Structure 1
Amino acid sequence: MNSLKPLLLSLLLSPLLSQANPKPLNEQLAYQLTESLTTEVGPRLAGSPGDRASVAWATKNLQALGFDKVWTEEFVTPYWQRGQARLEILSPYPQSLVLTALGGSVGTPANGIDASIVMFDSLEALIAAKPEQVKDKIVFINKAMTKDKSGSQYGKVVGARAKGAVEAARLGAKALIIRSVGTSSNRFAHTGKMTYDPAVPKIPAVAISVPDAQQLARVLTKAPEAKIKLQLDTQQTEDAVSHNVIGEITGSERPDEIVLIGAHLDSWDQGTGALDDGAGVGLVMATAALIKQQGQPKRTIRVVLYGNEEGGLVGARAYAAKHAKELDKHVLASESDFGAGRIWQFSTKFGPKSLPFAAEIQRELTPLQIQPGNNDAFGGPDVSVLKALGVPVVSLEQDGSDYFDYHHTPNDTLDKIDPAALQQNLQAWIRMTSKVANSTIDFRK
C-alpha cells in the first residue's frame, strides 16, 4: 500500500481539469490499483487471511482516493481450503496427471480412492447413465469448451463442474473428475465452485488440465480397464466473517439516487486474481475517483467491492438483503467481472421509455470502438442479484476470447493484462457512469 500512496496523494492534490490549465485524467490509475492489489495482497480466497487483507487494502485506498464515504458491511461466509492433491494412473500406463480440487469439494480418505474409470462426454450423458455403469467407479466428464468473444460457451460446460458430483454420486460413483472448464492447452487445471445436494452422498470432485483430460481419454481408448488413484486433502472449517467494501461519491443534487458500479474483491487461491477480478476492482475504483476530479456528480456513485462472489454470490446476496428498503433508489447497477479485454459492446436492461438515453450513452462510447448491443443486459454476476429485484442494469461487454485460458488457474496474474486495453475500459466506464450520474432519467420506465 505504501507504494501507491504517493501516487494517490499527487492525484488528489493536483487539479485534473481547470479552465486555465486543463490536465488529462490519469488513465493509468485502474492498472496501478490492480497492480497494487495483486502485488500487496495477492490471492484472496473468501474467509482467508488474504481476504481480510484485501478488505483493509480496499478501505485504505478508497479513503486515499477521496471518496466522500467509505465503509464495510459484514457477512458470514463458508471458509473452504484446498490442501494437497494427487491423481495418478495406476495401470496399465502409470503416470501422474495435473489436477486441482473444485471449490467446496470434500477430501478423500487418507489413503485415497482407487477405482476404475467411466468416461462421459457431457453431464447430460452422465445423467442418462444406468447405475451399473457407474457404481464404485470414478466418473470422468470429458467435455471441451470452445473460445468465443462473449463467453457464451461457458454456460454450456460449467454444469459438469457445478452439478457433476451430485449426479455421479446419485449413481454410486466414488469420485468425480472433470475436464477443466477452460480453453487453454497449457497444463494448468481450472478450479471453480461445485455444489452438493444434502440428500446425496458427498464425493470428492477435481478438475484436470485440458492436456491431461486428452491424455486420460487416450488411455481409456486403449485400456478401458485402466485404474486410477485420487488423493485429496481439503478442509471445510467453521464459517468465517468477511465484508463488502463500499465507497461513495455523494451526489450534489440527488444524493439519495444511487448509481452502483461494482466488482468482486475475492479471488480463487491459485493465481493472484488479476483478471478475476482485480482488474474490475481497479476499474470501478478509478472510475468514481476520476469522475469526482471533474466535478461532483449530481447523483451518488456507489462503488461496491463484493466479497465471496466465487463461493456463490454470498456478498451480493448480503448486500441486497441489507439494502432491500433502498433498492428503489438504485437507479442503475453494473459490474466489471470478465477480465481486462477491450470493451466491444454496450448493452442495457432499461424500460422502453429510457432507450433513447441508451442511444445517447452509445454515442459517447462509439469513438472507443464499442458497438451497440441489446436491451437484455446481464449486468454482471453480483449485480444479477439486484437485476432480479428490478434494478436496471447495463453491461460494458469485454472481449473474452482468451479469458478462459486463465480463468481460475495459477496463470491468472498481472502480466496477462494489457494496460492499453484497460485504459480503453476505464474511458468507457467513465463516460457511461458520468452520463448516468448526471442525468435525471428513471431507467425503470
Structure 2
Amino acid sequence: MKTLVLSSVFLALSSSAATLTESETKQLTQLKNTALQSDLSYQVLESLTTEVGHRLMGSEGDRKAIIWAQAKMNALGFDKVWTEEVTGTFWQRGEAQAKIITPYPHDVVAIALGGSIATSDEGLTGEVAHFETLADLIAAPDNSLNGKIAFVSYQMEEHIDGNGYGPAVGTRVGGAVVAAKKGASALIMRSVGTDNNRIAHTGIMRYEAGVKKIPAAALSNPDADLLVNQLKRNKPVNFYLKLTSHTDPKVTAVSANVIGEITGSEFPDEIVSIGAHLDSWDVGTGALDDGMGVAMMLASAHHIAQLPIRPKRTIRVILFAAEEVGLLGAKKYMEVHEKNMANHIIGAEWDFGVGKIYKMTSGVGKESLTAINDLAKHLAPLGVELSNDNNAQAQSDMSVMSAAGMPSMNFAPDGTKYFDYHHTENDTLDKVNADDLKQATAVYTLFAYFSAQSEINFRK
C-alpha cells in the first residue's frame, strides 16, 4: 500500500515541469504566501456585511450590493467591470406568527418559506397532521387532510460535506404542492438546518400550476421537537399560523450579475471563471451564504492583479444575481454568453461551507489530468487532497455552465456547521473564521492563476 501511495506522489511531482515553468511555479508560491498572510478577503466580507447587509433579489439591499460590488472591483484593480441585468418577481417576507393552541399552548418560532403566499389577515387554525418524512406525506390519500395543517418533522443530518441537505430540502421545495393535493390548508415543516437554536431557516419553495397554493412555513428545531412531543400524547394538536408574505404581480424585481476581469496578457479571449452569488436571503447579513464566496473571489483576483505581468488568460469573476430564488443570474449569464462558452476554459464557484477546503475534485478531459495532479501538488501543503473522481460540476450557479460543457473544479470545504446558520438570522460575520477564510482564498487564488497561466486545454 505504501509503495502505491509513493508512486502516486512521484507521478504528481514528476508532472510539474510540463505545466508551469520554474519562474511561474515561484510566482504561484508567492501568491500562496500573499493570500495566506493577507486579511483582504475578511476585510471585503466585513465591508459587505456592514455596509450592505442582506441582499434579497429586488430589495434595497440587493441594489446597494450591485453598486458596492462594482466599486469594490474597481478599487481592487480589475481591468473591466460591468453588469448584466436580471429580472424576476419580487417577493416580500412580511411577518410570521405561529402558536400551538391545544392541548398545551405555546408560542413558537416560525418563518415563511421563500415565495410562500400569505394566510388570511386573521391567520388560519387547523389540526396538525404529522408526517415523519416527505415520502409519508406523498403516500397519504388525496383529500385526506381537508382542513388540516400538514407537518413534516424530518430532521436534517449533519455531515462535513453537507450531504444531509438533499434528503431534507425536498419538503421545503415541493412539500406545499404535495400537502395541497392532500387537502391541507397549510404546510409547516422542521427547518432544514442542523442547529438547536430557536431560530427558523427559510429558503425557496415552489408552487405548481393547477394546484391550490397554500401557505408554507418552517419551525425552529426546538419548536419542531415541542410539536412532536405534544403529538406523542395522542391528543388532537391544533396550530395557528399567520403569514403576511406576498409577491406583488405588478412589480418586476430588477437585479444584475456583476462581472469583473483581470484581462489576459496573451490569450484575453480565453476565460478562467471564478464566482459566487451576490444575493442572499433577507435574514442575517449573508456572511456565509454567500458573502464569503464574494470576498474570496474579489481578493483572489486582486492578489493576481498585483503581479507585474497579467496572467496569459483572462480571469473573470462572476458575482451572480438571484441564486437564492432559482439561479436566475446563472440562467441570464448563459443566455448572454452561450455562444462564447467554448472560450470558458475552466471554472469554480464557492457556495458552501465555513471551514478549510480539504478536497479538490476535477471535471476535465483525461489528457489534462496531468496538470490537475500538478495543481494538487501545490495545494497539498494547504491540506487539500485530490479526489480520485473526475466528474465534478461547479457549485450552484456555475453548475449551469458545467452542464453546458465548461470544464470545472469543485473545492470541498468543511461544512459541518454550515447548516447551523444557513438561511437564518444567524448568518453573520462572527461565524467566519479568519484563518480558514485565508486558506480558502489561497486555494482559489492558486487555482485561478494556475489555470490562467498554464495554457492547458482542460477539455482534452
Per-residue deviation, 1:131: 2.8
> Quick check: 24-33 or 319-328, which moved more?
24-33
Q: Give me the whole-angstrom Cα distance separating, in 2, the residues matched to 1:340 and 1:231.
A: 34
Q: Is the 8 A contact 2:117 2:245 kept in 1?
A: yes
Amino acid at match of 2:76: L
Q: Give me the whole-angstrom Cα distance separating, in 2, the residues matched to 1:366 and 1:24.
A: 15
Q: Which residue of 2 aligns with 1:260?
A: 273
| Alignment map for 1:77-96 (pairs within 5 Å) | 77-96=88-107
Does residue 444 of structure 2 align to residue 429 of structure 1? Answer: yes
Q: Give me the whole-angstrom Cα distance separating, in 2, the residues matched to 1:59 and 1:81.
A: 26
2:259 to 243, 246, 252: 246
Does residue 39 of structure 2 align to residue 39 of structure 1? Answer: no
Q: Is the 8 A contact 1:243 1:306 kept in 2?
A: yes
Unmatched 5+ residue regions in structure 2?
1-26
Runs of at least 4 residues off by over 4 Å: 22-26
Q: Give me the whole-angstrom Cα distance separating, in 2, the residues matched to 1:110 and 1:223.
A: 31
Does residue 63 of structure 2 align to residue 52 of structure 1? Answer: yes
> Quick check: 339-348 or 210-219, which moved more?
339-348
Q: Which residue of 2 aligns with 1:308?
A: 322
| Alignment map for 1:13-412 (pairs within 5 Å) | 27-237=38-248, 238-294=251-307, 295-373=309-387, 374-412=389-427
Q: Is the 8 A contact 1:271 1:412 kept in 2?
A: yes
Q: Give me the whole-angstrom Cα distance separating, in 2, the residues matched to 1:210 and 1:367.
A: 39
Q: Give me the whole-angstrom Cα distance separating, in 2, the residues matched to 1:125 and 1:443.
A: 45
Q: Is the 8 A contact 1:184 1:406 kept in 2?
A: yes
Q: Which residue of 1 aligns with 2:7?
A: none
Q: Give me the whole-angstrom Cα distance separating, in 1, the residues matched to 2:413 and 2:108.
A: 33
Q: Is the 8 A contact 1:115 1:138 kept in 2?
A: yes
Q: Give me the whole-angstrom Cα distance separating, in 2, the residues matched to 1:33 and 1:340.
A: 16
Q: Is the 8 A contact 1:301 1:437 kept in 2?
A: yes
Q: Give me the whole-angstrom Cα distance separating, in 2, the residues matched to 1:151 and 1:340.
A: 11
Q: Give me the whole-angstrom Cα distance separating, in 1, the residues matched to 2:173 and 2:395.
A: 19
Amino acid at match of 1:144: Q
Residue 95 of structure 2 aligns to a residue in which SS? strand
Residue 88 of structure 1 aligns to a residue in which SS? strand
Residue 222 of structure 1 aligns to a residue in which SS? coil
Q: Is the 8 A contact 2:36 2:438 kept in 1?
A: no
Q: Give me the whole-angstrom Cα distance separating, in 1, the residues matched to 2:354 and 2:301.
A: 18
Q: Is the 8 A contact 2:143 2:181 kept in 1?
A: no
Amino acid at match of 1:276: D
Amino acid at match of 2:342: D
Unmatched 5+ residue regions in structure 1?
1-15
Amino acid at match of 1:252: S
Residue 425 of structure 1 aligns to a residue in which SS? helix
Q: Give me the whole-angstrom Cα distance separating, in 1, the residues matched to 2:35 and 2:104.
A: 62
Relative to 1, partners in 2 of residues 1:23 and 1:91: Cα closer, same or farther, differing over 3 Å?
A: closer
Q: Is the 8 A contact 1:27 1:426 kept in 2?
A: no
Q: Give me the whole-angstrom Cα distance separating, in 1, the residues matched to 2:253 and 2:432.
A: 31
Q: Give me the whole-angstrom Cα distance separating, in 1, the residues matched to 2:447 and 2:182.
A: 50
Amino acid at match of 1:243: A
Q: Which residue of 2 aligns with 1:419?
A: 434
Per-residue deviation, 1:292: 1.5
Relative to 1, partners in 2 of residues 1:113 and 1:362: Cα closer, same or farther, differing over 3 Å?
A: same
Q: Is the 8 A contact 1:87 1:96 kept in 2?
A: yes
Q: Give me the whole-angstrom Cα distance separating, in 2, the residues matched to 1:191 and 1:111.
A: 23
Residue 366 of structure 1 aligns to a residue in which SS? helix
Q: Is the 8 A contact 1:41 1:54 kept in 2?
A: yes
Per-residue deviation, 1:376: 1.9
Relative to 1, partners in 2 of residues 1:219 and 1:434: Cα closer, same or farther, differing over 3 Å?
A: same
Q: Is the 8 A contact 1:277 1:339 kept in 2?
A: no
Relative to 1, partners in 2 of residues 1:213 and 1:442: Cα closer, same or farther, differing over 3 Å?
A: same
Q: Give me the whole-angstrom Cα distance separating, in 2, the residues matched to 1:431 and 1:241.
A: 34
Q: Give me the whole-angstrom Cα distance separating, in 2, the residues matched to 1:95 and 1:223.
A: 17
Amino acid at match of 1:369: G
Q: Give me the whole-angstrom Cα distance separating, in 2, the residues matched to 1:372 and 1:124.
A: 36
Per-residue deviation, 1:224: 3.6
Q: Is the 8 A contact 2:103 2:235 kept in 1?
A: no
Q: Is the 8 A contact 1:180 1:209 kept in 2?
A: yes
Residue 134 of structure 1 aligns to a residue in which SS? coil
Q: Give me the whole-angstrom Cα distance separating, in 1, the residues matched to 2:403 and 2:266.
A: 28
